[in-house]
């Protein structure tokens, strides 16, 4: 079945560091891929979405490239801020409008 794998449970950085969160997916077709961000006490918020393979999504300084060859959708940001501290979920959407969340990566950014 469809699934998403995020291996990094937590990433700890200092402000202005480069962020890279790994995500790989497994599916038999071309899904829509999302990154959602969840702040404490809130529901997940859409960060970015990509519908076509080998395209890039960009939002708020974050970017992710949908790579069909490596079945990856890694999240990157050139320079993180303390306000970026949150849980980041890689999400796969199938044709039945189901979405599958990865385990999430807790980002901690120290001032």
Partner 1 sequence: DPKIIQKPKYLVAVTGSEKILICEQYLGHNAMYWYRQSAKKPLEFMFSYSYQKLMDNQTASSRFQPQSSKKNHLDLQITALKPDDSATYFCASSQDPDWGNQDTQYFGPGTRLLVL
Residues in touch with partner 1 (CB under 8 A): 31-32, 34, 36, 41-46, 49, 51, 89, 93-104
Q: With contact defined as beta carbons under 8 Å apart, do 33 and 8 qualify? A: no
For partner 1, the closer CB: 7 or 78 = 7
Measured from the CB atom, is 15 or 103 closer to partner 1?
A: 103
Identify each DSSP E strand in 1-111 by its residue range.
3-5, 10-14, 19-21, 24-26, 32-38, 45-50, 56-59, 62-65, 75-77, 86-93, 99-101, 105-110
Q: How far is the CB of 10 from partner 1 (least distance, A)?
A: 11
CA distance 102 to 100: 7
- In the complex with partner 1, the residue whose CB is nearer, 16 or 60, is 60
* Closest distance of CB 86 from partner 1, Å: 14
- Smallest gap from Cβ 16 to partner 1, in A, equals 29
């Amino acid at each position: 079945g469809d699934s998403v794998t995020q291996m990094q449970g937590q990433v700890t950085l200092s402000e202005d560091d480069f962020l890279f969160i790994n995500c790989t997916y497994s599916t038999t077709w071309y899904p829509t891929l999302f990154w959602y961000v969840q702040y404490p006490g809130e529901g997940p918020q859409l960060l970015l979405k990509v519908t076509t393979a080998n395209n890039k999504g960009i939002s708020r300084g974050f970017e992710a490239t949908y790579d069909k060859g490596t079945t990856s959708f890694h999240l990157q940001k050139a320079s993180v801020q303390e306000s970026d501290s949150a849980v980041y979920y890689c999400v796969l959407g199938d044709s039945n409008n189901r979405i599958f969340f990865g385990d999430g990566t807790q980002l901690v950014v120290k001032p």
